[in-house]
Amino acid sequence: MADEVGELSSEFASVRVRIDTDGNGPRLRVEDLRTGHVGFLDPLELETLAWLPEGGLHKLLDPSLHRWRAEDQER
């Protein structure tokens, strides 16, 4: 079961965010509305985001790191 929190969009991404309770505990379910890819963040991962220093996510925000790789297009 997942309770919808809402949708967030910018010129770079659109996601649907829900609270998922199907696992061992509550977690945030994040769905990429363009591709349908789904990821989950547990409370510890979310707290880590709150404590990251400015720029702590910059490397992960590079779309060529995971999203636009040739191997992914073959799947």
pLDDT tens digit sequence for 11-67: 989 999 999 999 889 999 999 999 999 999 999 999 999 999 998 888 888 777 776
- The span from the CA of 14 to the CA of 32, in Å, is 6
- The span from the CA of 48 to the CA of 42, in Å, is 10
Per-residue pLDDT, 20? 95
Per-residue pLDDT, 68? 61
**pTM of the model as a whole:** 0.76
Per-residue pLDDT, 52? 92
Q: Which residues contact 37 (CB under 8 A, 6 or more apart)?
A: 31
